[in-house]
Amino acid sequence: MNFLITKMNNEKAKEVLSWKYEKPYDFYNSDESDEEFDEKMDGSYFCVIDDQNKLVGFFCMGESAQVPKGNKYHMYQESLIDLGLGMNPRLTGKGNGLEYCSFIIKHIEDTYQKTPIRLTVAKFNHRAIHLYQKLGFVYENEFITDYAEFMTMVKRDRNTT
């Protein structure tokens, strides 16, 4: 599959906010509030589209990719590139993750040459954790919020994608 990265736009933001994942991944469902929409349009979100201009997924960088409560536990003190991502629910669980995530990571590595990448992932999401390990991310730390346990994973070695 060929992918292209574009800036998030109104149409794609509304599509992302309408996505509904099956349990237990419904944890990642968004509400379609103005606040959620405004966040998607704040400049830190990007779309990944296929060659038919269909939305495959999105990613965000910086504070938008962090779980705010992680700051209480000093999870984000080191200056790294924080990456958050989501894939269209109709494509998840079908072996598309490696190609999709590899594309995003290569884009970030090409753009931000030597800065390590950090992900924050819910600890129950074994599917994502396994994928991130395959991509060279390693466990860094963990913390608990009122609604889930999270772990941070970091990719420092840029030779493994």
Task: Kindly report, residue by residue over 126-144, the tens digit of the pLDDT.
Answer: 999 999 999 999 999 999 9
Here the CATH number for the domain that contains residue 57 is 3.40.630.30
Which one, of 42, 57, 67, 154, lies nearest residue 103 by Cα? Answer: 57
Q: Domain range for residue 56?
A: 3-155
Question: Is 160 inside a domain boundary?
Answer: no
Q: Is residue 161 part of a domain?
A: no
| Residue 144 resides in a domain | yes
Instruction: Please tell me the distance from the alpha carbon of residue 95 to that of residue 121, in angstroms, as a whole number.
Output: 19
What residues in the chain have per-residue pLDDT under 50?
160-161
33-54: per-residue pLDDT in tens? 899 999 999 999 999 999 999 9
Q: How many domains does the chain have?
A: 1
- Determine how many CB atoms are found less than 10 A away from the CB of residue 98: 11
